[in-house]
Structure 1
């Protein structure tokens, strides 16, 4: 490739990178913090679901006290007011590390209704978590379905 062609390609790449950097630089510290907090909250929920899944998959013996503790933590997280995590300007198109789809802010009522459905499913699982593995397992489907319904429409999976 001639030197001029390499120069043009290099300049174009620099322009794209500069534009991306400028766009992300306009995000405030508060917006970055909210996106980080939202992701941490989701990771805490995933951790509690993982504890329960280990028991259901037979990779850890069913322990009623641990099942209740994990289900209680999950239900508590699900009941929290998530609107503090929904600061405008914190979607995946605005913050590189965010997984929140921009459609959350255009469909807020639907998003919050789905969040409420998740909270109700988590409460139902908590109600039976200490009643045996079969009872716990019977409610896990509702919880994971509630998660999946929201993730399908409101979570962006980063491209590798």
Structure 2
């Protein structure tokens, strides 16, 4: 089973690139026609800074579950190839959940060891379909993880 947020990240990237190009166009027009240069410059530069910051913070995440191994991979939209962030057997997972922040979602994975370690992954904004798929995935991971624990007892 694979879950990724590639489509929503690409959609967000397109929106921020449009905002970025619109801000540059607004700045260029203001310089050419010398119209309210102060207000336009502050607005345009703020939008440019915000767009560049959001583009730099975009991350595509892919979660793969192939029977016994759970793999979480990250990548930036402009960098090819995902970077493996976490890859471990299902038996090592204590629990998994999705936390909702102010505007974003976060994936929390608790891993068993000598002591429990928590890994947090910024998922960004998720569509309702992506959130539903992720919730089903996490429910299955938690259920299978508990089943494996009870089979060892």
* Shorter-chain TM band: 0.3 to 0.5
Task: Give 1 or 2: higher strand fraction.
Answer: 2
Under a length normalisation based on structure 1, what TM-score does the superposition of the two structures give? 0.33
Task: Give 1 or 2: higher helix fraction.
Answer: 1
Under a length normalisation based on structure 2, what TM-score does the superposition of the two structures give? 0.35
